[in-house]
Amino acid sequence: MNANNTPATVLTERFADALAYAFAVHRTQERKGSGVPYVAHLLGVSSLVLEYSGDEDEAIAALLHDSVEDQGGAERATDVRARFGARVADIVLGCTDAIAEPKPPWRERKEAYVAHLRLAPSSVRLVAAADKLYNARCIVEDYRALGETLWSRFSGGRDGVRWYYRAICSALAQPDATRRMALVAELDRTVRELETLCRP
């Protein structure tokens, strides 16, 4: 059973293929400022999706959610669609805040992404919530270890990060499937902790 006491999702070889693909695509990438292999983030997000009743396509999309934005743009999106199907590719694209290079300015990009999430399909919102929960937990842990020096990692700085995660919570806080609302509630608790820790 998962976080909502529903039967576990059955994973097939497609998920194993996605694990290998995610590793190949992100193998040289590290989490910003930490030296942690980026694949740790992808595994964590996929784990959260499964814990909150995600299906196999959603779990695969969680593994690949940064592949288009960070590792190949439109060509990567085409490859993901060919390998894992239209639904996975659509979820990945729905979790992508920019494809074009150079990327638009940080605040403009994030405001557009928040607006997009308010109306995004349920599967996109599930993966996005898992992604942001994983990130928010990491920020809280790193802030405890590093204090104010942490904010140099982020384009938006302390105030931008606090604004962005609160805006994400608001965008996701619409009534919908129980699985996502429980996940969003956990995200909101973590963001409140972050806000308390890093008040100016």
Region 57-70 average pLDDT: 95
Catalytic, out of 30, 55, 70, 193: 70
pLDDT in tens, 72-116: 889 999 999 999 999 999 999 999 998 877 888 999 999 999 999
State the Cα–Cα distance between residues 128 and 125, nearest whole angstrom: 5
In the residue annotation, 97 being an active-site residue is answered as: no
Domains, in order of start, for the chain: 13-197 (1.10.3210.10)
pLDDT in tens, 109-158: 999 999 999 999 999 999 999 999 999 999 999 999 999 999 888 888 89
pLDDT at position 177 is 58
The pTM for the full model equals 0.92
In the residue annotation, 30 being an active-site residue is answered as: no
Q: Please choose, from the candidates 139, 193, 191, the residue with its C-alpha nearest in 3D space to the C-alpha of residue 165.
A: 191
Token code pair at residue 71: 């590792």
Task: Enumerate the β-bridge partners of residue 30.
Answer: 37
Task: Enumerate the β-bridge partners of residue 37.
Answer: 30
Catalytic, out of 56, 57, 66, 69: 69
Look at the block and give the residue holding tokens 């965008």. 171
